[in-house]
Amino acid sequence: GTHGAGNNWARGHYTEGVEFIDQVMDVARKEVEGCDCMQGFQMCHSLGGGTGSGMGTLLFAKLREEYPDRMLVSFPVFPTPKVSDVIVEPYNATLAIHQLTEYADEVFVFDNEALYNICRRTLKRKQPTFKDLNSLVSAVMGGITGSLRFPGQLNADLRKLGTNLIPFPRLHFFTLGFAPLIRSDAKMYQKACLPALAPAPRVDV
């Protein structure tokens, strides 16, 4: 479209999103047809604006209706007051969380303020850019989905991942942790091997 949802969840979910959802579902169907063994869908979106929260949750509802036996995984960025520039972001997030509780199978929560704090304090970025934030998010997503791409015994697919992590169906919002946190321009100077990350405890005799 030529314009967004105006930072309004209802507009993205019921007005603007409804106009484009059929086109989006056609793209999703084409991707599904090209899969040999589809496990489910993964979506990255922001819950502060109208499009990510409104149309994003509408897309989840449509995918659940059309593919009820497939896993729906969400990677949402939650808004926070310190880095917010829109006063209605908490309302958009609250309405979107209700939809994610109903339709998503797994929700890996990214906190916008935490991403900025990590970039400033740990990665020593005075003015974090979207590239810095996105590289951090992509690294965490790569860690989460590593068991899907490499052979192993534990968490071999999205369904097993949910089975091991979800105690009750509606309690599927996960808090994330990641290590090591290394700046992209400092990787050649820092070691990421196990002894460097977890040195052996010192024993005094």
State pLDDT tens for residues 132-187.
888 899 989 988 888 888 887 766 788 888 888 899 988 999 999 887 787 777 66
Helices (H), the chain: 9-10, 16-33, 50, 56-66, 89-103, 112-117, 130-144, 146-149, 158-165, 194-197
Q: How far is 186 from 20, CA to CA, in rounded Å?
A: 43
3-state helix, strand, coil in the chain (%, to 5): 55, 10, 35
Residue 188: pLDDT band (50, 70, 90) is low
User: Does the pLDDT value for residue 44 go beyond 70?
Assistant: yes
Local confidence band at 86 (pLDDT 50, 70, 90 cut-offs): confident
Report the SS3 class of residue 57.
helix
pTM for the structure as a whole: 0.85
Alpha helices in 38-129 (DSSP H): 50, 56-66, 89-103, 112-117
Dist CA 79 CA 95 (whole Å): 13
The 10s digit of each residue's pLDDT in 109-122 is 999 999 999 999 88
Q: Is the confidence at residue 76, as pLDDT, over 90?
A: yes
- Burial code (b: 16+ CB inside 10 Å, e: under 16) for 118-153 equals bbeeebeeeebeeebbeebbeebbeebbebeeeeee
pLDDT of 203 reads 65
CA 72 to CA 3: how far, in whole Å?
27
